[in-house]
Amino acid sequence: MVNPQGHYGFLRLKSKDARAAIVQKLASDFNLTPIIAEAFYQQFSLYFQEHANVSLSTGEIAYEAVAAEEPAGKHIRLTRRVTTRLKLIELNTDLEALASYGLAGLRRHRLARLTKQAYDQGALLSYEDLAMMLTTSPATVRRDVQHLRRQGQFIMTRGTKHDMGPGLSHKTIIIDLYFKGYTFSDIERKTNHSETSVKRYLADFLQIATLWRQDFSHNQIRLIAKKSDRLVREYRQLYQTYQKQDNERLNELFTPLKPGTEAKKNPRLNLEKEVRKMTKPLTKEQIQLKKLRRLQRCAISSSVMKESTTGFILVPWSVLPRLGYSSTGTAIQTS
């Protein structure tokens, strides 16, 4: 029986498609082996799918924005870009904003939507990006962002995320929301930050505020806390503002309630304890005491586990003094 693939020249015909032509051009123009040229083609195909072949729906645009994890100070040409799908026009909500707040309100409504959508896709928009999309100037965008923040909205731009520009840092804004009474769920929803991140920012704030209360200088606080001059200054101002207002949450951070039944039911009452754990590492004595308490909880029938040469044995509490330990588990000094 005749092999149809060999008879009709399937392999030769396949080598005449556009893919093979591009691979041949790569190998010829850049002096590459066929294998390396094929690898280049596959990689270029992935780039095309990621950045160029983007399916859009009505009112959407594809925009190349800087990735959220890219640090400040890096040249824009060297930063990684993310292709985002942004809803520039959403008739229902846009018409409602236009009817209620006019053209300026429509522009701010779109600004808030675009920045959130970009951040959800792992990218950050700059004032210049927003000015281009909204056909306005960066100065107008800056004023709109400040207006929205005064209304309690959190607008995540590249300058906010990396604390660039004249505005407040995003960490200070998050701490400010906490002192204004927002719950962790509200802060997560408004700022796209996890509860762990919020607690970490609170730990940094508590450390800086504590050093300030102990009369350390600004430069000393900056060196000890290893934070920027700008952040230390903002945290100091935030502390002074809410201290004058006798803020309840600020007082809880510095005068925590003893953990009890109410504290167990209300996780917020234990926040200061969690924040302090993140602020200061445990000492060797605290670690030993923690291990001892864990050992006591594992005691069975008023007995305690004590290590022996053959492993572990159960020892009654009353026998501990004879073994050279006090009732708290610490070694007794003998003459």
Residue 82 parent element (H or E) = strand 81-87
pLDDT for 283 equals: 60
**How are beta strands 123-124 and 81-87 bridged, if at all?**
unpaired
pLDDT for 5 equals: 58
CB burial of residue 88 (10 Å; 0-12, 13-18, 19+): middle
Residue 208: which residues within 8 A CB-CB, separation 6 or more? 221, 225, 227, 231, 232, 235, 236, 239
Residue 282's identity, in one-letter code, is L
Q: Please name which of 122, 108, 115, 48 lies closest in space to residue 87, comparing C-alpha atoms.
A: 115
Residue 40's identity, in one-letter code, is F
pLDDT for 98 equals: 95
pLDDT for 334 equals: 43
Distance CA 243, CA 255 (A): 13
Residue 67's identity, in one-letter code, is A
Residue 31 is classified by DSSP as T
266: three-class secondary structure by DSSP = coil
Q: Please name which of 183, 182, 234, 174 lies closest in space to residue 209, comparing C-alpha atoms.
A: 234
Contact 154/99 with Cβ under 8 angstroms? no
Distance CA 222, CA 97 (A): 44
Low-confidence ranges of the chain (pLDDT < 70): 1-11, 14, 160-168, 256-335
pLDDT for 99 equals: 94
pLDDT for 195 equals: 79
pLDDT for 160 equals: 67
298: three-class secondary structure by DSSP = coil
Is the full-model pTM beyond 0.75? no
Residue 316 is classified by DSSP as E
Distance CA 111, CA 105 (A): 10
* Residue pLDDT, tens place only, 72-98: 777 888 899 999 999 999 999 999 999
Residue 152 is classified by DSSP as T
